[in-house]
Amino acid sequence: MQPTLPIDNNGQNVASLDGTLERIVFHNEENGYSVLRFKTTAGDNYTVVGNMADPQVGSSLKLTGEWVENAKFGRQFKMLTYETSLPAGVVGIRHYLASGLIKGVGPKTAERIVDAFGEDTFAILDNEPERLSTVKGIGKRTAKGIQEAWSEHRGIRDLIMFLQPHGVSTAYAVRIYKFYGKHALSVVQENPYRLAMDINGIGFVTADTIAQKIGFDVDSPLRAEAGTLYMLTKTSDEGHVYFPLDALVTKTSDTLNIRADLVEDAIDTLEREERVVVEELSNGQVAVYRSRFYAYETGISTYIKKILGSPKTVLIKDPDELVDEVVEGLGIDLAEEQLAAVHMAVRTKMMVLTGGPGTGKTTITKAIVQAYKKLKAKILLCAPTGRAAKRMFETIGVEAKTIHRLLEYSPREDGFQRNENNPLACSLIVIDEASMMDTMLMFHLLKAIPLGATVIFVGDVHQLPSVGPGNVLKDVISSGVVDVTELHEVFRQAQESDIITNAHKINAGEVPFLESSKERLSDFYFIRQDDPERCAAMIVDLVKNHIPRRFRFDPIDQIQVLTPMHKGSAGSGNLNHLLQQALNPQPLCLKRGDREYRLDDKVMQLRNNYDKDVFNGDIGRICVVNTEEKKLTVRFDDEKNVIYDFNELDELVPAYAISIHKSQGSEYQAVVIPVLTQHYVLLQRNLIYTGVTRGKKLVILVGASKALTMAIKNNKMQKRFTYLSQRLSEFLQ
């Protein structure tokens, strides 16, 4: 018999059901949508549909909702809210404990516990867990393990029930519990804004939603403080190291819809608590820094000055003779500016070597390394990404590491193990792809370099700035403190490449040659297609069919689609979907939101994960999917296998098409780039230049010539608020 229907305030029928979850017909782990078979306390069986964070067979539930008629499946109970309760009665308790919810308790152990304590079992577990050791077959050690597992289960269960109505998934509830332990629920209830600061993946918006639902006032000082830090974090994500005070106050008050004076008070509080630094700059601007970024920027300035002010470890009696020997030994003919760069490198303490493709940066780096080898110097080579480090090793012939590995990063040992107290052992350190280094990474690297070492930064200053905050290489160059060699002359062999010729034309603000020579097979093509959907279809056809047939490149491992943006028909989101269907049409393994993960898929790591030793931008292939253990394995380019739990898949995205920003530091045999007017917001010269210079053997642009011209003529780069150049310049005064 169907339960009685009360009437809610809106006059709608609202029903309630009490009973036990008998069977899970369907459950979507991403959004919680579930189809369940439910048995009421009266013994009736119903189908229940709705969102449930973590359905468990055997759990006792109280549901509220409404009865609906499904055209295909008939009458169903549409659940709106639910509460879990522990089962009553010996049979229910035994079933609950035996369900696998409690680590260390299987059916036999559950039976022994319930036989011993009957209906008092849960009370014993809560209040007198030491009595477990009196149960036959359970020793003190096992009893302690069950006690800890039960305590954690109750804590997580209570937390899930509190957070689930606010859209926080079970996976995040578990993360929160692991971080705060048994105090998790009280922490969240007292100050939910802590979630935004402490738990990766839970942002201010979610924390703010929870806070307002449990009664926090919109004008709460805690909200103003958390909101201010949130806005500072957003500006950091946009590349700023600091943000002007007035602009920050306006931005925060507008976003939170609160008075400006509340934001000013929040900044004062944050400054007193040393969570932000407020500094009046020499240009009259008042800057607000997140404390660690202030430490990074001032630290970079300090360490550069210390290195420049210290004598070289390696003494060179006759630098000119050394350079002549090296050049002769390598059998190379260096242009005048290239030779000058090698001479500078054996004399300087710190220099920047910059230039476009084909200008000889690699050749000069080889000569510099060879010169220091002759001096029996200890040499270290490094780069920001694994791909860049691998390429450095292949071209220079000396082992190269990522900066993180060089500095021996260990999350369990509190970060980078190499620092001023445990410096690197070297007389020369060469850093390639230095334009990719953000403020944080530069700080930690400089901190670990011995003061007597020579430091060579190699990079292309005309590429995109780092993904992270700052514009470090450009700031170091503009400060005038460090020796700089910018290469302009293109080697004769490189002049034969249309990729290199056109890259330099783009960098100079000129439209590249769009008509390929018919006398030879070109390495640079432009295909006109103004329509975004046709452009996307053409890119798929190029990658799957034409390029592999004509140029013999593997469509997954050697061809990379690079796009200016994520959204739109020719954005990375849609292109990944189309390319996945075309290149890896395997049966669907997993679905997370709008993403699909299949065996052998090409995927990219989205953020640094120091526990797994994988970093933002690393690309690999899914080689194992284990649905029973809810894990998958990715083999990355450096032949390293990394295991992910299914609830960690937000760190991985399909990588058949990636953003040009994410491609920095990498080279591909072939790249295909859509260039359309719908991308106009992001169309900038350095973006197209960076994309084109990722291709080693082939570059194909697909799109509108108008869009390409717009991009090349647009050299207005978004200003990043940094003060590093001025801090360094003070060294000269």
Rounded (10°) angle between helices 336-347 and 319-330: 130
Q: Supply the pLDDT for residue 2.
A: 38
Burial class (CB in 10 A: 0-12, 13-18, 19+), 308: middle
Average pLDDT estimate for 226-246: 95
Predicted confidence (pLDDT) at residue 664 exceeds the cutoff of 90: no
Of residues 594, 593, 614, the one with CA closest to residue 605: 614
Provide the CB-side half-sphere exposure for 363 (13 A, CA).
21
**Best mean pLDDT range from 150-154, 459-463, 511-515:** 459-463
pLDDT tens per residue across span 545-577: 999 999 999 999 999 999 988 888 999 999 999
Q: Supply the pLDDT for residue 11.
A: 39
Burial class (CB in 10 A: 0-12, 13-18, 19+), 558: middle
Q: Supply the pLDDT for residue 321.
A: 92
Of residues 630, 294, 662, the one with CA closest to residue 466: 662
Predicted confidence (pLDDT) at residue 7 exceeds the cutoff of 80: no
- The values of phi and psi at residue 252, to 5°, are -70, -45
State the Cα–Cα distance between residues 618 and 386, nearest whole angstrom.
7
Predicted confidence (pLDDT) at residue 257 exceeds the cutoff of 50: yes
Sign of the CA dihedral running 333, 335, 337, 340: positive
Predicted confidence (pLDDT) at residue 668 exceeds the cutoff of 90: yes
Q: What class is the 15-84 domain? A: mainly beta
Predicted confidence (pLDDT) at residue 281 exceeds the cutoff of 50: yes
Beta carbons within 8 Å of 687's beta carbon, 6+ residues apart: 464, 564, 660, 711
Q: Supply the pLDDT for residue 104.
A: 78
Q: Supply the pLDDT for residue 411.
A: 73
* Bridge partner list, 380: 429
pLDDT tens per residue across span 119-140: 888 888 888 888 988 888 888 8
For the domain covering 217-297, report its CATH number.
Answer: 1.10.10.2220
Distance of CA 514 to the CA centre of its chain: 36
Q: Supply the pLDDT for residue 200.
A: 75
Average pLDDT estimate for 324-347: 91
**Are residues 383 and 362 in contact, defined by beta-carbon separation less than 8 angstroms?**
no
State the Cα–Cα distance between residues 385 and 653, nearest whole angstrom.
18
Average pLDDT estimate for 7-33: 72
Stretch among 429-438, 529-538, 634-643 having the lowest mean pLDDT: 634-643
Of residues 222, 213, 203, 324, the one with CA closest to residue 270: 222
Sheet-wide strand order for 631-636: 641-645, 631-636, 619-626, 602-605, 652-654
Q: Supply the pLDDT for residue 30.
A: 62
| Domain parsing of the chain, residue ranges | 15-84, 89-213, 217-297, 311-492, 510-713
Predicted confidence (pLDDT) at residue 177 exceeds the cutoff of 70: yes
- Bigger pLDDT: 588 vs 65: 65
Structure-token match 């002759």, residue found: 374
- Bigger pLDDT: 163 vs 312: 312
Q: Supply the pLDDT for residue 479.
A: 95
- Bigger pLDDT: 86 vs 519: 86
Q: With cut-offs at 50, 70 and 90, classify the pLDDT of residue 5.
A: very low
State the Cα–Cα distance between residues 590 and 563, nearest whole angstrom.
25
State the Cα–Cα distance between residues 703 and 311, nearest whole angstrom.
54
State the Cα–Cα distance between residues 564 and 571, nearest whole angstrom.
7
Average pLDDT estimate for 280-287: 92
Please report the DSSP string for 630-666 in residue order: TEEEEEETTS-EEEEEGGGGGGEEE-SEEETGGGTT-
Q: Supply the pLDDT for residue 408.
A: 92
State the Cα–Cα distance between residues 255 and 240, nearest whole angstrom.
18
Q: Supply the pLDDT for residue 38.
A: 93
Q: Supply the pLDDT for residue 240.
A: 97
Stretch among 99-113, 217-231, 652-666 having the lowest mean pLDDT: 99-113
State the Cα–Cα distance between residues 125 and 131, nearest whole angstrom.
8
Q: Candidates 3.30.390.30, 3.40.50.300, 1.10.730.10, 3.40.920.10; correct CATH number of 311-492?
A: 3.40.50.300
Predicted confidence (pLDDT) at residue 4 exceeds the cutoff of 50: no
Predicted confidence (pLDDT) at residue 494 exceeds the cutoff of 70: no
- Bigger pLDDT: 575 vs 108: 575
**Are residues 481 and 729 in contact, defined by beta-carbon separation less than 8 angstroms?**
yes
Average pLDDT estimate for 675-690: 85
CB atoms within 10 A of CB 37: 15
Fold agreement between 217-297 and 510-713: no
State the Cα–Cα distance between residues 152 and 163, nearest whole angstrom.
16
**CA 303 → CA 346, 414, 696, distances in Å?**
21, 21, 36
Stretch among 11-25, 377-391, 520-534 having the lowest mean pLDDT: 11-25
Q: With cut-offs at 50, 70 and 90, classify the pLDDT of residue 646.
A: confident
Mean pLDDT of the chain: 88
State the Cα–Cα distance between residues 350 and 455, nearest whole angstrom.
5
Burial class (CB in 10 A: 0-12, 13-18, 19+), 183: exposed
Distance, first Cα to last Cα, the chain: 89
Predicted confidence (pLDDT) at residue 305 exceeds the cutoff of 70: yes
What ranges in 542-646 are assigned the alpha helix state H? Answer: 547-551, 572-583
State the Cα–Cα distance between residues 428 and 482, nearest whole angstrom.
16
Average pLDDT estimate for 386-409: 91
**Are residues 281 and 245 in contact, defined by beta-carbon separation less than 8 angstroms?**
no
What is the C-alpha R_g of the chain?
Answer: 31
Beta carbons within 8 Å of 233's beta carbon, 6+ residues apart: 290
Q: Look at strands 400-402 and 379-383 and give their pairing.
A: parallel
Of residues 275, 178, 183, 181, the one with CA closest to residue 222: 275
3-state secondary structure of 417: coil
Distance of CA 453 to the CA centre of its chain: 32
Q: Supply the pLDDT for residue 634.
A: 96
Q: With cut-offs at 50, 70 and 90, classify the pLDDT of residue 519.
A: low
Which token pair is 396?
A: 């220079």
pLDDT tens per residue across span 612-631: 888 888 899 999 998 777 88
Of residues 214, 216, 238, the one with CA closest to residue 227: 216
Q: Which secondary-structure segment (H or E) carries 378?
A: none
- Which residue type sits at 548? P
Whole-model pTM: value is 0.80
Q: Supply the pLDDT for residue 606.
A: 87
**Best mean pLDDT range from 438-452, 479-493, 615-629:** 438-452
Predicted confidence (pLDDT) at residue 92 exceeds the cutoff of 50: yes
Give the fold, CATH level 3, of 510-713.
Rossmann fold (3.40.50)
Q: Supply the pLDDT for residue 396.
A: 93
Q: Look at strands 695-703 and 590-592 and give their pairing.
A: unpaired
